């Protein structure tokens, strides 16, 4: 009876209700992320912990031969490859690659990837804090040049600041955020007496064009577990703000 049952399930596993991800040709793990300009540490995390679903280099476990489990695994892989296939990296347009780096970091920080069902079967696949830090080193801003090339306007920056930031960053005590006068060129978490997050305190960051650009674009990417619940999506506004901070310091 049991044998018959297993034969049936094996037979069913030749049916692929969610698509058959086994047909893609494999070319070897070293063909993943071709042309991606990322640190070796980040690449190794992606290859070891993400490639089973997010590439054509899936290492199929034996139990993936039995339906209906096989269907669930296949569905995950089909969906994962649709979102991001590391085997086809060189075919992804550059701005989308940058967006994917951002998403990967985001998922990694939230602990959503790899998904729970996978972590249960591959207990060593959980991302360590070192893994998350390695992934965070991936470049997530293709517009960084905008602020570096000095296209920011300090006057516009001041008005953005007054509209968006003073709610938390007004001068004087008792606000949610620290006072920002003179922040350019200052060490992060440099206002004595303000209750900064441990993340920002230990970051060792110096506020300049590059770090401010990253912070304003997505604080969570620059400093995991910071407590500024705000970001500035517009590249132009970010450069304007940075120009404003620079001018306060008399640097332009």
Q: Which chain residues interact with ligand HEC by CB under 6 A?
A: 49-50, 52-54, 76, 79-80, 83-84, 103-104, 107-108, 113-115, 118, 127, 164-165, 167-169, 176-178, 180, 183, 188-191, 196-197, 199-200, 207, 215-216, 226-230, 232, 241
**Min CB(143)–ligand HEC separation in Å:** 16
Shortest approach of ligand HEC to residue 90 CB, angstroms?
A: 18
Task: Output the smallest distance, CB 9 to ligand HEC, in A.
Answer: 21
Q: Report yes or no: 184 and 207 within 8 Å, Cβ to Cβ.
A: yes
Q: Would you say 67 or 77 has its CB closer to ligand HEC?
A: 77
What is the smallest separation between the CB atom of 240 and ligand HEC, expressed in angstroms? 10
* Closer by beta carbon to ligand HEC, 50 or else 67: 50
User: With respect to ligand HEC, which residue has the nearer C-beta, 11 or 163?
Assistant: 163
**CA-angle at 178, arms to 184 and 141, nearest 5°:** 50
> Closest separation between CB of residue 1 and ligand HEC, Å?
32
CA 192 to each of CA 86, 160, 183, 196, 224: distance values in angstroms, whole numbers, following the listed order: 45, 26, 13, 10, 22
Here the tokens at position 42 are 């980040």
Give dist(CA 71, CA 187) in Å, integer.
Answer: 52
Of 226, 181, 182, 184, which is closest to residue 203 (Cα–Cα)?
226
Question: For residues 119 and 235, is the Cβ–Cβ distance under 8 A?
Answer: no
In contact, 33 and 86? CB cutoff 8 Å: yes
Q: Compare residues 49 and 246 and give the one whose CB is closer to ligand HEC.
A: 49
Residues, the chain: 252
Q: Which of residues 7 and 67 has its CB atom nearest to ligand HEC in the complex? A: 67
């Amino acid at each position: 009876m049991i044998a018959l049952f297993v034969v049936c399930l094996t037979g069913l596993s030749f049916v692929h209700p969610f698509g058959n991800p086994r047909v893609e040709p494999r070319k070897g793990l070293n063909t993943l992320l071709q042309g991606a300009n990322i640190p070796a540490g980040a690449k190794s995390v992606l290859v070891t912990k993400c490639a089973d679903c997010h590439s054509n280099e899936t290492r199929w476990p034996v139990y993936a031969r039995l339906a209906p489990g096989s269907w669930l695994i296949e569905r995950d892989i089909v969906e994962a490859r649709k979102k991001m296939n590391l085997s086809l990296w060189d075919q992804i347009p550059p701005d989308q690659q940058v967006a994917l780096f951002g998403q990967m970091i985001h998922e990694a920080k939230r602990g959503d990837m790899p998904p729970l069902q996978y972590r249960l079967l591959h207990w060593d696949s959980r991302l360590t804090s070192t893994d998350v830090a390695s992934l965070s080193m991936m470049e997530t801003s293709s517009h960084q040049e905008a602020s570096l090339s000095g296209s920011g306007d300090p006057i516009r920056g001041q008005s953005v600041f007054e509209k968006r930031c003073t709610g938390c960053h007004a001068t004087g005590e008792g606000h949610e955020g620290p006072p920002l006068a003179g922040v350019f060129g200052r060490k992060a978490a440099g206002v004595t007496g303000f209750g900064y997050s441990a993340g920002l305190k230990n970051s060792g960051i110096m506020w300049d064009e590059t770090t401010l650009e990253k912070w304003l674009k997505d604080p969570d990417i620059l400093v995991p577990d910071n407590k500024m619940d705000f970001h500035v999506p517009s590249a132009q506004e970010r450069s304007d703000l940075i120009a404003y901070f620079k001018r306060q310091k008399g640097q332009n």
